[in-house]
């Protein structure tokens, strides 16, 4: 039952995050301001993250030792992000989230991703309407990484991690564009958001917008950076995190 509650809470957090990103596809209005959207998302996101921490702790998915390790990793990833933070497509915040979630699970990964972006923004002053969406986006990257299959073949496991790093980089980039596409694309063009139009029609215009503005090409830098860092550090970091998991009394696959 505890395991079911934990999985349900993680699923709800993931679905809620996706819905917040994809609001243009479901809200038939173009009058919502960027600031209002961001404020609403932040108001919902912070209690959601706190609730997830409490549920994961209460169900035993995150122990007190893991919680301490989570705090250390949040601080570490916040500092690591300063080396890139998406500049010229370079992103250094993903690889640690992916590897930690691979070892400790989806709930751990979601909390680590969202919280480390928040702390990083506090350190750099990078607080704006984009912050709650960045937090959710990296949280979703961590959530998905917790579902990557484990294998006794280390090369196969590394292949899974690299493939996920590439896919999640493009997925994150698309989500970050989707939420503010109605504001950036303007109105009256072939790639503009049209409030109330069928979802498929708006999705076609959105992907055209991504191609025209070069969003997909920008994401290549994130995909390359993340996959290379996973390749270079994966073996050592996974071994270190597995030892930490054992000391915390957590039994993980692989």
pLDDT 10s digits, 96-150:
999 999 998 888 898 899 899 999 988 887 787 788 888 889 999 999 999 999 8
Q: Which two tokens stand for residue 80?
A: 């690591």
pLDDT at residue 253 is higher than 50? no
Find the distance separating the first CA and the last CA of the chain, reported in whole Å.
24
Grouping H, G, I as helix, E, B as strand and the rest as coil, residue 207 is helix
What local confidence, expressed as pLDDT, does residue 254 receive? 41
pLDDT band for position 2 (cuts 50, 70, 90): low
Across the chain, what does the average pLDDT equal?
81
Range name among 23-27, 192-196, 212-216, 227-231 with the lowest pLDDT average: 23-27
Q: Which two tokens stand for residue 21?
A: 């990103």
Most confident of 21-25, 40-44, 190-194: 190-194
pLDDT band for position 244 (cuts 50, 70, 90): confident
pLDDT at residue 32 is higher than 60? no
Look-up of token digits 């992103």: 91
Give the whole-number percent of the chain exceeding pLDDT 70.
Answer: 79
Output 252 or 72, whichever has higher pLDDT: 72
pLDDT 10s digits, 146-175:
999 988 888 899 999 999 999 999 999 888
Among 33, 56, 18, CA closest to 136:
18
Q: Decide: 126 and 119 in contact? Cβ < 8 Å.
A: no
What local confidence, expressed as pLDDT, does residue 211 receive? 84
The contacts of residue 93 (CB under 8 Å, 6+ apart) are 77, 80, 81, 84, 85, 113, 116, 117, 120, 138
Q: Domain ranges in the chain?
A: 2-247
Q: Is the dihedral of CA 191, 195, 198, 203 positive or negative?
A: positive
């Amino acid at each position: 039952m505890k395991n079911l509650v934990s999985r349900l809470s993680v699923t709800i957090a993931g679905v809620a995050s996706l819905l917040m990103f994809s609001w243009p596809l479901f809200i038939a209005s173009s009058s919502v301001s960027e600031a209002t959207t961001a404020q609403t998302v932040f108001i919902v996101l912070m209690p959601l993250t706190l609730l997830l921490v409490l549920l994961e702790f209460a169900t035993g998915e995150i122990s007190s030792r893991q919680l301490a390790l989570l705090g250390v990793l949040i601080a570490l990833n916040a500092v690591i992000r300063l080396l890139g933070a998406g500049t010229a497509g370079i992103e250094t915040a993903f690889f640690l989230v992916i590897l930690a979630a691979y070892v400790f699970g989806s709930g751990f990964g979601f909390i680590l991703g969202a919280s480390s972006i928040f702390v990083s923004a506090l350190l750099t002053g990078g607080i704006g309407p984009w912050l709650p969406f960045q937090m959710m986006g990296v949280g979703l990257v961590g959530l998905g990484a917790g579902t990557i299959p484990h294998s006794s073949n280390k090369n196969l496991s590394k292949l899974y991690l690299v493939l996920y790093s590439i896919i999640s980089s493009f997925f994150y980039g698309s989500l970050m564009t989707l939420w503010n596409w109605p504001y950036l694309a303007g109105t009256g063009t072939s790639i503009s958001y049209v409030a109330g139009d069928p979802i498929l029609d708006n999705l076609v215009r959105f992907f055209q917008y991504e191609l025209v503005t070069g969003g997909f090409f920008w994401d290549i830098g994130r995909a390359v950076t993340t996959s290379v860092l996973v390749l270079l550090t994966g073996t050592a970091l996974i071994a270190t995190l597995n030892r930490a998991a054992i000391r915390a009394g957590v039994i993980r696959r692989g």
